[in-house]
Structure 1
Amino acid sequence: MIDSHAHIYAEEFEHDRDEVVQRAKDIGIKKILLPNIDLNSIKPMLATEAAYPDTCHSMMGLHPCYVNDNIEQDLEVIKAWFDKHNFIAVGEIGIDLYWDKTFQAEQEFAFREQLKWAKELALPVVIHTRDSIDQTLDILSQEQDGSLSGVFHCFGGSIEQAKAINQLGFHLGIGGVSTFKNGGMDKVIPELNLDYIILETDCPYLAPTPHRGKRNEPAFMQLVAQRIADLKEMPLEQVCAITDRNTEKLFQLK
């Protein structure tokens, strides 16, 4: 399995990161993909990648929750990193209308700007869409010229939204929310096209049941894969094989 979205560089893992990576390997996770958040996360993210070079691969982007009125300067710093390091994606980018809509216009500007980078660099994008799937789809439909690819990370939307995302050529990142009793994904996942699904944890957040409310980690992704297998009425090995293939292709992993 591949954990396509994990923040194991976060301070929540400072005291036991080696053990966390080892537990992931022990249950068959071969790659852990690291999305950037803001200017302060770059250094710990790259240090984590350097510590586990065969396992961890970094992305570069500005998360919408860290967009403010200093957006142009922040984007300039973020973009400069693409000349210094090989990243597998532009991410984590997008729109978040859950916490605060003060900088919605700036978020949309940052999103479009980073989509432009993805086109120029021929890289996929990893998109954060909390309370903003429809707004994001609207922008993507304008920006999609056939060259954009990527994933709606932490997907928790409707079947109709999933189909619209797939029609634009984008994948769905399925994580711990799929295991929540009242998450609603039990009705959605059986209808999803498995060829557009990739697995993720978003650790340390959104730990799957029965670990909900605790620190999430890549090893818990096995519970997500099993949940999809149960809802799809498919063997776990088949779910893992297909989602692995999807992730390797999307991020051009070798």
Structure 2
Amino acid sequence: MDIKQAAENLVLTDTHTHIYYQAGTSELNDQMERCFANGIQRLFLPNVDLDSISLVNQTVEAFPEHCFPMLGLHPCSVKEDYQTVLNDIASKIKNTQIYAIGEIGIDLYWDKSTLAIQQDAFNRQIEWAKDLNLPISIHCREAFDEVFEILTQQQDGRLFGIFHCFTGTLAQAHRAIQLGFKLGIGGVVTFKKAGLDLVIKEIDVEHLVLETDAPYLAPMPFRGKENESSYLIHIAQKVADLKEMSLEQLAAITTSNSKQIFNI
């Protein structure tokens, strides 16, 4: 049975996609149709800044049974005016049904000079999540030590969520799980020399959820091209192969895991 045939009976969940960049265009409808054809029925949408909130909302309004919003401030969007921006986002959260705070975290790949304000923004948004009993979606790039430090300080039994686009070591995977987080597995798991496949082999599937991070990090055989949520099926098939289970089993377990996180 090929992937297309298998997709007919699947309910896959993309726990992290920016498909909303296509909001208001025919391309959004086309991409969603390709998602449905590939068994991707549930998509979780993290904004990145103030401007992207309206795009998230438009997409959710267009596909309310399939698209679910998160709100937060991406670490790369944490600038000098971040406190004002956080206040604006907090006010929008009060008037919007959301399913997570995200994506939030620390990114030291692009700009190390903003570490202090990234840390403050991360801490503040974690407090929002705990107060609202919501999960967080963590962006962590070249910042595992810094992120783990904050999570360790903040973990009081109310903190949970997903390490979005997890690409760490086995030790880092165990640490994230110990802190109460699922691992978001995306296209990198299909890259031959990335090493993530070796990590995933050692992690119980109950700790995994799937994601695309579309339009970024397209899986094989689309590496180097623009990603989209319909490609999640290729990520799912790779993880299913690594875990030596059927695509249907992997889809059922990872979607169940996503429901535990997002409560929907």
User: Normalized against structure 2, the TM-score is what?
Assistant: 0.94
CA positional deviation for 1:237: 1.3
1:68 aligns with 2:91: no
1:31 aligns with 2:42: yes
Instruction: Spell out, residue by residue over 1:18-62, the C-alpha distance to the aligned partner (whole angstroms, 9 max, x if none).
Output: 010011011111111100100110111101110111110100100
Instruction: Give me the whole-angstrom Cα distance separating, in 2, the residues matched to 1:219 and 1:21.
Output: 8
Counterpart among 107, 110, 124 of residue 121 in structure 2: 110
Instruction: Spell out, residue by residue over 1:168-215, the C-alpha distance to the aligned partner (whole angstroms, 9 max, x if none).
Output: 111100000000111111211100121110000000000001101111
Counterpart among 199, 223, 232 of residue 188 in structure 1: 199
Instruction: Give me the whole-angstrom Cα distance separating, in 1, the residues matched to 2:66 and 2:31.
Output: 12
Instruction: Give me the whole-angstrom Cα distance separating, in 2, the residues matched to 1:132 and 1:84.
Output: 32
Q: Which residue of 2 aligns with 1:97?
A: 108
Question: Structure 1: which 5+ residue stretches go unaligned?
Answer: none
Where 2:215 maps in the other structure, the secondary structure is coil
Q: Which residue of 1 aligns with 2:186?
A: 175
Counterpart among 238, 241, 244 of residue 252 in structure 2: 241
Instruction: Give me the whole-angstrom Cα distance separating, in 1, the residues matched to 2:55 and 2:70.
Output: 13
1:148 aligns with 2:159: yes
Q: How many residues align?
A: 253
Q: Which residue of 2 aligns with 1:5?
A: 16
Where 1:129 maps in the other structure, the secondary structure is strand
Q: Which residue of 1 aligns with 2:55?
A: 44
Instruction: Give me the whole-angstrom Cα distance separating, in 2, the residues matched to 1:53 and 1:180.
Output: 33
Maintained 8 Å contact 1:126/1:152: yes
CA positional deviation for 1:13: 8.7
Maintained 8 Å contact 1:12/1:204: no
Q: Which residue of 1 aligns with 2:33?
A: 22
Q: Which residue of 2 aligns with 1:85?
A: 96
Structure 1 window deviating more from structure 2 (114-123 vs 235-244): it is 235-244
Where 2:89 maps in the other structure, the secondary structure is helix
Where 1:103 maps in the other structure, the secondary structure is helix
Q: Which residue of 1 aligns with 2:177?
A: 166
Instruction: Give me the whole-angstrom Cα distance separating, in 2, the residues matched to 1:6 and 1:115.
Output: 21
Instruction: Give me the whole-angstrom Cα distance separating, in 2, the residues matched to 1:209 and 1:27.
Output: 16
Q: Which residue of 1 aligns with 2:132?
A: 121
Where 1:95 maps in the other structure, the secondary structure is strand
Instruction: Give me the whole-angstrom Cα distance separating, in 2, the residues matched to 1:13 and 1:31.
Output: 19
CA positional deviation for 1:239: 1.0
Instruction: Give me the whole-angstrom Cα distance separating, in 2, the residues matched to 1:166 and 1:187.
Output: 17
Question: Structure 2: which 5+ residue stretches go unaligned?
Answer: 1-11
Coordinate RMSD, CA, aligned? 1.2
Instruction: Give me the whole-angstrom Cα distance separating, in 2, the residues matched to 1:232 and 1:113.
Output: 37
1:138 aligns with 2:137: no
Where 1:78 maps in the other structure, the secondary structure is helix
CA positional deviation for 1:14: 3.9
CA positional deviation for 1:15: 4.7
Q: Which residue of 2 aligns with 1:215?
A: 226
From the superposition, tell whether residues 217 and 73 of structure 1 become closer, same or farther in structure 2 (CA, over 3 Å).
same
